[in-house]
Amino acid sequence: PAAIELRGISKAFGPVQANRNIDLCVPKGTIHGIIGENGAGKSTLMSILYGFYKPDAGEILVDGRPITIADSQTAIRAGIGMVFQHFKLVQNFTVLENIILGAEEGAMLRPSLSKARGVLKQLAAEYQLNVDPDATIESLSVGHQQRVEILKALYRQAEILILDEPTGVLTPAEADHLFRILEGLRDEGKTIILITHKLREIIEITDNVSVMRRGEMVASVRTRDTSPEELAELMVGRKVLLNVD
């Protein structure tokens, strides 16, 4: 089964239909892009997957099992990890403390610094995620802070990592490094969902891409079979291409 599948997800904010009848199927071990213009509904969809919003309708399946994501703890337990546009790190705490403490998990994790240190070391070696465990967050570059967010998700055993516009805050060199990390994770069988409005990034790194426009999913295609021009047209609405696999 797919790592994650959405069926008919809808969400309105008053008169604004932010997500309308969204279907999405993300195969395990792939990098899946979600692209759309500002306001297309990408972040709303992501927030639903992390339990920040309850959808008005629809179903979410993880590894083929229907789940109800009531809050972020449910999402974490289901193996979903998030890297937000604005990091949720405690600035004057160290990397290690942030990995363990995380705001939203509460009492879920037993705080064990030595265990965390070991896991961090192993993850750093495996995925080029080197950060000094004893550095405070405020002393780190934005790129390194983002790595801490990724480490936090992996420490919580995320199998599905969702990143919302992750390169917006990065230098080109940091963005390159992030993409190598994501490819490494994918090659180890993790599933990555990359939300972006940058076509270049979709073409560079994704296996498949879904296009959102005005709250709807207007296409899901294999990236290498689709031209940049075609994707751009889908984004801005000159074209609809449904259920292409």
Q: Which of residues 10-39 bind Mg ion (CB under 5 A)?
A: 38
43 near Mg ion, rule: CB under 5 A: yes
219 near ligand ADP, rule: CB under 6 A: no
Total residues at interface with Mg ion (CB under 5 A) = 3
From the list 6-14, 41-49, 96-104, 222-230, the region that binds Mg ion by CB under 5 A is 41-49
- Write down the residue that tokens 């801490």 correspond to: 148
Could you tell which of Mg ion, ligand ADP, none binds residue 102, using a CB distance below 5 to 8 A set by kind? Answer: none
Could you tell which of ligand ADP, Mg ion, none binds residue 108, using a CB distance below 5 to 8 A set by kind? Answer: none
What is the radius of gyration, based on Cα positions, of the chain? 18
Q: What is the DSSP string of 34-49?
A: EE--TTSSHHHHHHHH
13 near ligand ADP, rule: CB under 6 A: yes
Least distance in angstroms from the C-beta of 110 to ligand ADP: 34
The enclosing H or E element of 232 equals helix 228-236
Could you tell which of Mg ion, ligand ADP, none binds residue 41, using a CB distance below 5 to 8 A set by kind? Answer: ligand ADP
Least distance in angstroms from the C-beta of 215 to ligand ADP: 7
Asked if residues 194 and 166 have their Cβ atoms less than 8 Å apart, the reply is: yes
In the set 26, 33, 35, 44, which binds ligand ADP (CB under 6 A)?
44
Q: Which residues contact 40 (CB under 8 A, 6 or more apart)?
A: 212, 213, 214, 215, 235
- What's the Cα-to-Cα distance from 39 to each of 8, 12, 36, 154, rounded to whole Å? 19, 13, 8, 29
From the list 40-48, 96-104, 122-130, 153-161, the region that binds ligand ADP by CB under 6 A is 40-48
Least distance in angstroms from the C-beta of 38 to ligand ADP: 4
Strand partners, 9: 22
Strand partners, 62: 4, 65
- Residue type, position 181, single letter: I
Could you tell which of ligand ADP, Mg ion, none binds residue 18, using a CB distance below 5 to 8 A set by kind? Answer: ligand ADP
